[in-house]
Structure 1
Amino acid sequence: KPSFKQKIQNSSHASSIKEISTMILIFVMYFILTTYASITAQEIASEKGSKIMEIIFSSMKAIRYFYGKILAVFCVIMTHLAIYFVGGWIFFEVAARTKSLAPIIKKYKPLIDGVIHNLVSSSLLYVILGVIIYTILSALCGALVSRAEDASKATQPTMVLTMVGFFGALSLQQSPNNLFVRIFSYVPFTSSFFMPIRLVNGTVSPLENTISLVILVVTIVVMLIYIGKIYGGLVLQTDDIGLFKSLKRGISTR
């Protein structure tokens, strides 16, 4: 007698997994960037206001110092994210062994596993690369001002790009095939917000994912090299002449 097995997928879980995964990725990107963009810019602006940079640059190249600064900020951010992941893992492990919470964890285990699977996929790579490119931009903004008090004003371009990506992704997360989502998933400063939407919903091919990643990585490398070359000229000038004039002078004195 033939045996018949039927497996019915819970569509409500599938849609909830996509929605929760997208929301977590978008909010993590937003809060990390809004927190560390101002910190990075303010720290560089504070160093620029002192005379210690002349001493540092006399013993090492400005580009090497810039690379070290970006690496240090990136390590701090990664430590922050690691604490969140480890803390979440410990919470679920303890909750699974608690009598009052164990039935709830067991009931929603497929949902939790699906969300975790989406978080540790290629979407996490976009979050990491997005943190790097915005950190570089924040460092540039901090080097353009002569006083630490002006750091918040200098980070306005970074904050505008962050808010465009955040609110755009938040409003279009239910429309992964939207034309704007598809276009902005290839733009370097917004792909970290929009491409995870397409990845979570499975509406992007491996080739499209690779193209977006290559564009993002190439942009990061170009920014890192170019800003590193003009970093010394930006930091050593202490005149309050405005952002664009400071950038122009830094480019001319690289």
Structure 2
Amino acid sequence: MRERFGSAAIVARREMVERGRSPVFRISLVVMVLLIVGGIVAFNYFAGRAEPIEVGLAGTTPATLATDLVAAGVAAGEDVEVQTVPVDAVESVLDDGVVDVVIVDGARVITPETASSTIEFITSTAIRTAALNDLVDSGEVSAGDVAQIAQPVDIVFEPLETPDPDEEARAVVAWIGALLLFTTILMFGQFVAMGIVEEKQNRVVEVVISRIETSQLLVGKVLGIGLLGLLQVGVFVVAGIVTLTFVASDAVPDVDLAAIGVPALLWLVVWFVLGYLLYSFLYAGLGATVSRQEELQGVAFIPAMLLMPAYFLTAVGIGSDVGTIARIASIVPFWSPIVMPLRMTTGTVPPWETALALALIVVTIYATIRFAARVYRGAALRTGGKVKVTEALRSTT
């Protein structure tokens, strides 16, 4: 047993060194970091140039409030459009998204949820300016009035709903986690398959397979490349956090990792490892059936197609952690590495569902290792063309 682990460790160390030095790994690392940084910056830029802020005025309104709102918007770098709404329709126009905020009687600021800093600045500035203009226009400005104006106007911000302050942070981490899990699982799974094909092309496999069991060889390859994958994910996360720190705005919200909780973040890592193991062994077995890198794409799409539905279902998983589709998808072994961590990040998952999902994926990983080892033994030494999986399995019986 000790010798087996030692052999797998040697293979893992070799894979880490060789893959870490390869141009493909380095280029992919740089490209992904640039995509993450560029994506956050681009989203912040284009989101900041979004539609104008719609402000509704209800009840008794100071004469200059509408123009003062537009002026405050210019000062904040935002376009503001103002319209009048009936007092009894305030809640409905906010719920329907007709307006972003309603000012009632010139002092009550009502928003669908907690007001953003931009809306707070625009509305409070305009309300204070309008109050000052009303006093000046009345022609009855006394010393007491001036002192009163110098004090903050009593502005009341009233959200229709009080959202969970940590909900937005959890949703952001859930979406980022889904993207990272999806891309890294497939990326490093393909690296495993590419390594298998490369050894077949160079005839290295003939030497290696004569000195080490195929299961140990595959485990070593998967673990070595997997550790590189974790390192790369760490670089991605750091790049994203640093970029968010510099471009934080209303469009790109601040993410408080403490609010999300250490357990949720650890579960993301656990499910990445499980998902990576499952798909990497599948890639390894399928990669052994081809002899050239050009033929690899013909089999590489199979794991990608298995994982793709999970990525599309993340919207369901985030939107409702108790929805039937989300609950089923989070237990299916080939989908649970994506959907289950999202449910755990954005909501509460019953312990029995977590235990069942873990048990099923562990059993599936074990079965996939056995499957990949048999396919590898039956196809690794066969060159000259693609080997059918059924033929590889039959040759080892």
TM range (shorter): 0.7 to 0.9
1:29 to 2:171 alignment:
no
- Equivalent residue of 2:363, what SS? helix
CA distance 1:191–1:110, shift in 2 (3 Å): closer
Structure-to-structure mapping, 1:1-254, within 5 angstroms: 11-85=163-237, 91=242, 111-115=256-260, 117=262, 119-170=264-315, 172-241=317-386, 246-254=388-396
- Identify the range of structure 1 (232-241 vs 205-214) with the bigger mean alpha-carbon deviation: 232-241
Distance (Å, rounded) in 2 between the aligned partners of 1:162 and 1:110: 27
TM-score (norm 2): 0.53
Q: Where does structure 1 differ by over 3 angstroms across 4 or more consecutive aligned residues?
A: 84-89, 108-112, 115-119
The answer to whether the 8 A contact 1:118-1:200 is kept is no
Tell me the amino acid that sits aligned with residue 190 of structure 2.
S
CA shift for structure 1 position 85:
4.3
Tell me the amino acid that sits aligned with residue 389 of structure 2.
L
The answer to whether the 8 A contact 1:40-1:135 is kept is yes
1:90-145 CA distances to partner (integer Å, 9 max, x unpaired)?
x49xx6xxxxx6x98xxx77734224646523233112211111111111221111
Identity of aligned residues (%): 22
Distance (Å, rounded) in 2 between the aligned partners of 1:219 and 1:56: 27
CA shift for structure 1 position 44:
1.3
CA shift for structure 1 position 231:
1.7
Determine which structure has more spread, i.e. the larger CA radius of gyration: 2
Relative contact order, CA 8 A, sep 6+: which one is greater?
Answer: 1
Distance (Å, rounded) in 1 between the aligned partners of 2:162 and 2:235: 32
Unmatched runs of 5 consecutive residues or more in structure 2: 1-160
CA RMSD of aligned residues (A): 2.8
The count of aligned residue pairs is 233
The answer to whether the 8 A contact 1:67-1:228 is kept is no
1:147-167 CA distances to partner (integer Å, 9 max, x unpaired)?
111112210111112221111
Distance (Å, rounded) in 1 between the aligned partners of 2:180 and 2:264: 11
The answer to whether the 8 A contact 2:316-2:323 is kept is no
- Identify the range of structure 1 (226-235 vs 211-220) with the bigger mean alpha-carbon deviation: 226-235
CA shift for structure 1 position 12:
4.9
The answer to whether the 8 A contact 1:185-1:212 is kept is yes
Tell me the amino acid that sits aligned with residue 21 of structure 1.
V
- Equivalent residue of 1:200, what SS? helix
Per residue, is there more strand in 1 or in 2? 2
